[in-house]
Structure 1
Amino acid sequence: MWTGKRLHNESAIWYRSDVPLVELDQDILDHLKSEVRDFGETPSSVLRRLLGLNRGTAPEIAEPRQPPDPPAIHVDPPPCPPTTAPGHQSSTTRNQAPNADQTAIISPHEVDAARHAIDRFMLILKKLYLWSPERFVAVERVKGRRRIYFSRSVAEVAAAGNAVNPQRIQGTPYFVATNLSNDRKVAIMNEVLTLLQVPFPKRPELIRILNTQNMIHQPIELPPLPETMEEKGAIDDDQI
């Protein structure tokens, strides 16, 4: 029912005998009329539809939607390094074989790679230094009547003779004269092995390596160094 009367303030009043009176401005009333969809639709039904109300029920107030919680991200803690009791090596450390080039073990491969007698001479000296750097200083006592064969000073070795061609022993602070005959190399090596007290069973094996015609099939490992050392005389240059 869309009846009403105009008042002094340009508003309209709807009236029905069975419902309360509501005062509306004219523009609101015109808007409600424009929203009528079906024939016989009342102002109350238009307002109920526009306000989203169902007869006999209170309007539902939609709660604001909360954004979903972000998915939990699980991060595994970093693995703890294995602990090793003091004085014990881990299995990884025990299983790592030392580099043969940095041990007092002469391998067949190293001997085979040393093609010349001087190369094998230098190889044995290097291994003897690795065997005991503290005791290797004794090689400075290996001297000829007029020559110095070992020294920490390259100039000292060079000044001891003509064209002695001093070279540094790899991995050591020592220089050695290298322009030597094979017999003199053998004599010097015997003197070094004696001063360092290399056990007798090992000495022939090491001397044998100096001959380039000889090969080894098993590694030669130097045993622990004795506590005492013998005093030896000088090599007679004239006898070699």
Structure 2
Amino acid sequence: MKTIEIDEELYQFIAGQTKHIGEDASSILRRLLNFKQAVSNKTNQAPHKEHHYSLFDDLLQSDTFTNEKSIISRFILLLGALYNYNPALFSIAATSLHGSKRQYLAKDKQSLETSGKNTKPREIIGTPYWVISNTNTARKLLIIESIMSDMGISENMINQVTLAFLP
């Protein structure tokens, strides 16, 4: 498995071509380019798992994450990584996630401010999303776990992220 860097516009295009949950970028590009795969479908499933393990392992082991003691900063870093993993799935998960009285994520600060008192919206850097930051650590974990679950990320990876979340 090789890693390449692409610009945001191209990434959004590729992510927008997803036909089913869990389809990885290689499969999407192969389909779009009509490029036949030389290996079996069983082998084709492994890179997707490796991709998201690698993505989160890279973040969880990064100096930026491990040296960050602020729970809210870790929270925002994780949400950014989830968005970058699959913007389309993140958007679906973010839209469906809310409390009984509060909206947790939105594409603008004002929507969060009007959904409750003292929400303290924070921008999720590198994404079009904002998140409320005035929640306890347990609620932040619930938000992360819920989004990861809705995105189809494995329970094992959710547990790894949960354990790494607390400094």
Normalising by the smaller structure, the TM-score range is: 0.5 to 0.7
Root-mean-square deviation (Å): 2.1
Q: Give the C-alpha shift of residue 113 in structure 1.
A: 2.9
- Structure 1 contact 148–157 (Cα < 8 Å) conserved: yes
Partner of 1:157: 112
- RCO comparison, higher one (Cα < 8 Å, 6+): 2
Partner of 1:191: 146
Partner of 2:27: none
Q: Is residue 122 from structure 1 mapped to residue 98 from structure 2 by the alignment?
A: no
Deviation per CA, 1:196-216, whole angstroms, max 9, x where unpaired? 11111101111112211xxxx
Partner of 2:103: 148
Q: Is residue 206 from structure 1 mapped to residue 165 from structure 2 by the alignment?
A: no
The alignment of Structure 1 onto Structure 2 pairs a total of residues equal to: 115
Aligned residue for 1:194, secondary structure, equals: helix
Higher strand share: 1
Aligned residue for 2:149, secondary structure, equals: helix
Q: Which runs of 4+ in 1 moved over 2 A?
A: none
Partner of 1:108: 62
Tell me the amino acid that sits aligned with residue 162 of structure 1.
K
Tell me the amino acid that sits aligned with residue 116 of structure 2.
G
Unaligned stretches of 5+ in structure 2? 6-53
- Structure 1 contact 146–160 (Cα < 8 Å) conserved: yes
| Aligned mates of 1:206, 1:112 — CA distance in 2 | 12
Q: Give the C-alpha shift of residue 97 in structure 1.
A: 7.3
Q: Give the C-alpha shift of residue 131 in structure 1.
A: 0.4
Q: Is residue 177 from structure 1 mapped to residue 114 from structure 2 by the alignment?
A: no
Q: TM-score, normalised by structure 1?
A: 0.45
Tell me the amino acid that sits aligned with residue 115 of structure 2.
A
Q: Give the C-alpha shift of residue 114 in structure 1.
A: 1.8
Q: Is residue 166 from structure 1 mapped to residue 121 from structure 2 by the alignment?
A: yes
Higher helix share: 2
Partner of 1:134: 88
Deviation per CA, 1:59-116, whole angstroms, max 9, x where unpaired? xxxxxxxxxxxxxxxxxxxxxxxxxxxxxxxxxxx8x975xxxx94313312223221
- Structure 1 contact 140–149 (Cα < 8 Å) conserved: no
Tell me the amino acid that sits aligned with residue 164 of structure 1.
T
Larger gyration radius, structure 1 or structure 2: 1
Unaligned stretches of 5+ in structure 1? 1-93, 213-240
Aligned residue for 2:159, secondary structure, equals: helix
Q: TM-score, normalised by structure 2?
A: 0.63
Partner of 1:222: none
